[in-house]
Amino acid sequence: MNNVTIYQPAPRTHPGRELLGSLARRPATWAALITLLGFGLRVWALESFPPGWRDDELIESLVISRNILGGDLAFYYADASGHEALYHALNAVFLALFGPTGLGIRLLSAVLGTLAVPLTYALGRRLFGAAVGLSAATLLAVSFWGLMYSRVGIRHSLTPVLALVAFFWFWKAMEAGRGAGVQGSRGDKSAPAPLHPRSPAPLLPFAASGLFLGLGFHSYFASRGAPLVPAAFVGYLLLVAPGRLRGKWRGLLVMAAVTAAVAAPLLLAVAAQPAAEGRVGEVAVPVVEARAGNFGPLVDHAVAALTMAHAAGDPEWLYNIPDRPVFGVVGAVLFWVGVALALGSVGSGVRNRVFKKKPGFYPPADASAFLLIWWLGGIAPAVLSVPPASLGHVILAQPAFYLLAALPVGVVAGWARWPARRRHLLAGLAAAVLIGATAARDLRAYFVEWPARGMVRFLYHADVEDVAAFIVRDPAAPWPADFGITGPLAGPWNRIALELALDGADVRPRWYNAERALLLWPDVSFSGFPAVESPFAAVFEPLPQDALLAGGYTLTRVAPPVTPLLTEGQVWLNEAPLCFANGLCWSAAAYDPATGTLELVWRLEGELDLPDIPLVSNPPPPGVYSGPRLAVFAQLLDGAGGMVAGDDGLWVDPQTLWPGDAFLQRHYLIAPDGAAAATVIFGLYDPLTGARIPTTDGADRVTLELNQK
């Protein structure tokens, strides 16, 4: 019989499919995808959300970072109540590359906020395993809190990054002596092992931790509390398991020395200018009250900080929907379950060490203790400062909040009493519910609800952005090119926000405060915002094009019947304007003694001569003047030349005026009962020096004689 060989083809393989399957089973793959998600959420429409420029980010970029670009190098800047230099030095690079744009001002924060996502995963995995790390990283990626500080150009975003790196190296250093093959308390091979002594411990991880703890001092005030977290954890180990510190003391001393060495330049700079840290005194209200014997505010703030996860959160419109808690219902429940598990783990760990019992279902005790210390230490600034439950002041604790909320997922994933398939399925379901609920709540809140609120739009100059969008709707022919725009004139930040939004368009806005001033020429104005009581409201006539303008402003034409507007009292009209040495000329006045109202009409005949006005932060550095450099003084005098009433101001931004502009302003000079007013005098002066600006014929005032009845 002939032998027959039956050919059996080799089974078909799918290398690509197998590779994808292998990658999908790796936590690092999911961490990379989560990081990409976080980056996308942080850079998408970066100039549109928040809906405009916040004063703080304009100050930090256009004053401090720009000063660094100009060669003003320091470890600490006294601007805006005191700022550490590190964030601003990094931001100066982005500002140099992209200019004062969304990328130049906000991209650094977006990058730092993105880095916090994989770092949260890395530290979470080292502390509690991959399930906790992935869940916490995803929560941070999609959270309102995470997005808020990753999309504004302020220094807070550097704090979590430096803390996460420092704590990662600290934990790696403390783990260095654990025995090979020792598993954590959950029976999961991917779970971290408890700390074990080793002698001597490697010094490099301790030094790396100290480096980033020290750098934290150069980022934001809240970071100065970061070294207290590992210090308190060492204290915890001294109490419950001193043997675990065997072989670690030399490394801990190296960490402390490196931290001190890196932080020293900042601390010395602060000590050299203690008045520069004005912000600390401004916000430390509970501490001040406690020193005076009133502990009520301190207790109230402690309760607010401890309950901000589920009760009332940050009350400020700037960085939150007021009083909105960190978590929704699902997140809050799992957060407090996580806190309970961590507390139970610490208690169980102590009990197991005393009575030599085997670990239960709790997460690792040492990691739980570290996480609780981190959370409590991170929220401490909210206890000691105002406002209560401030998301900015507790930014150090941000990753700890999400790690605690993810902790129940890790416990389910690692519970050895259940088959692996069941616990992985249940853990995945729990993570999906937690992340899905958080994303549905927080993404809508950040991108839809929060930016639409009126106070948010006001604080971020969103209505100014709407004006700019209207003007440049046809970039080739922006209209109107010459116009007025109303605003509170509380510093230059409205003006700068509009300049950035106009993006170099060839237009010339004039800013004025409609409570006291009226721009007569140009006669087109964006008016009516912010909503204030203006005595000139009746002379603003809406234009048809206003239908195309979004936001709170109204496009109007100023059409007064006569100027001055006062119809009662005494009127002075000049055939030829009376000019001052700086180019500003007075042309008419009116005074109504019944109401004490003085109206002055001014016209700019040539280039306005102003002193150099540098851009200064708000608040300014100690001893630095940041007020106006031109004002009108107006006084009511009696027959003997004594002043009976005075009212100073300009209410027009002189830096925005052009030759040919005309404006009217109101002063209120109300004579006290029994006083007999004889004359009105007025003129121009520099509020910084007090020096009066003379008229072209050398007089330092204009005198108007009042009719005597």
**What angle in degrees, to the nearest 10, is found between the helix axes of 204-216 and 158-175?**
160
649: phi then psi, degrees, rounded to nearest 5: 160, 170
Residue 194 has pLDDT above 90, yes or no: no
Question: For residue 690, how far is the Cα from the chain centroid?
Answer: 36
pLDDT at 180: 37
Residue 31 has pLDDT above 60, yes or no: yes
pLDDT band at 187 (very low <50, low <70, confident <90, very high): very low
pLDDT at 186: 41
Read off the pLDDT of residues 648-674 as tens digits, 9 standing for 90 and up: 999 999 999 999 999 999 999 999 988
Distance CA 478, CA 618 (A): 32
Residue 448 has pLDDT above 50, yes or no: yes
Read off the pLDDT of residues 523-574 as tens digits, 9 standing for 90 and up: 999 999 999 999 999 999 999 999 999 999 999 999 998 889 998 899 999 8
pLDDT at 178: 53
Read off the pLDDT of residues 582-600 as tens digits, 9 standing for 90 and up: 999 999 999 999 999 999 9
Structure token pair of residue 8: 């059996």
Mean pLDDT of 480-504: 96
Mean pLDDT of 318-327: 97
pLDDT at 238: 95
- Share of residues in the chain with pLDDT > 70 (%): 90
pLDDT at 195: 64
Mean pLDDT of 211-223: 97
pLDDT at 184: 41
pLDDT at 354: 56
Give 88-145 as a DSSP string.
HHHHHHHHHHH-SSHHHHHHHHHHHHHHHHHHHHHHHHHHH-HHHHHHHHHHHHH-HH
pLDDT at 474: 92
pLDDT at 423: 85
Q: Which residue has the higher pLDDT, 37 or 532?
A: 37
DSSP category for residue 690? -
**Mean model confidence pLDDT for the chain:** 91
Mean pLDDT of 634-656: 96
- Share of residues in the chain with pLDDT > 90 (%): 80
What pTM did the predictor assign? 0.92
Residue 191 has pLDDT above 70, yes or no: no
Mean pLDDT of 350-367: 67
pLDDT band at 11 (very low <50, low <70, confident <90, very high): low
Strands 597-604 and 662-668: antiparallel
CA-nearest of 371, 367, 370, 392 to 382 is 392
CB 82 within 8 A of CB 283: no
Mean pLDDT of 601-617: 96
CB 475 within 8 A of CB 504: no
In terms of average pLDDT, the best of 136-150, 263-277, 375-389 is: 136-150
- CB-based contacts of 467: which residues, under 8 Å, 6+ apart? 485, 498, 501, 526, 549, 551, 553
pLDDT at 273: 84
pLDDT band at 15 (very low <50, low <70, confident <90, very high): low
- For 678, other C-beta atoms within 10 Å of its C-beta total 16
CB 284 within 8 A of CB 221: no
pLDDT at 361: 57
Stretch among 16-30, 203-217, 284-298, 665-679 having the lowest mean pLDDT: 16-30
Read off the pLDDT of residues 127-142 as tens digits, 9 standing for 90 and up: 999 999 999 999 999 9
Residue 289 has pLDDT above 90, yes or no: no
CB 385 within 8 A of CB 284: yes
pLDDT band at 182 (very low <50, low <70, confident <90, very high): very low
Residues 26-53 as b/e (b if ≥16 CB within 10 A, e otherwise) read eeeebbeebbebbbebbbeebbebbbbb
pLDDT at 179: 45
pLDDT at 188: 47
Residue 183 has pLDDT above 60, yes or no: no
Stretch among 249-263, 343-357, 370-384, 396-410 having the lowest mean pLDDT: 343-357
CB 332 within 8 A of CB 309: yes
**Cis preceding linkage at 522, omega within 30:** yes
CB 34 within 8 A of CB 137: yes
Which amino acid appears at position 262 of this protein?
V
pLDDT band at 511 (very low <50, low <70, confident <90, very high): very high
Mean pLDDT of 23-30: 81
Residue with token string 């906020």:
113
Stretch among 6-15, 208-217, 227-236, 247-256 having the lowest mean pLDDT: 6-15
**Within a 13 Å sphere around the CA of 140, how many CA atoms are in the beta-carbon half?**
39
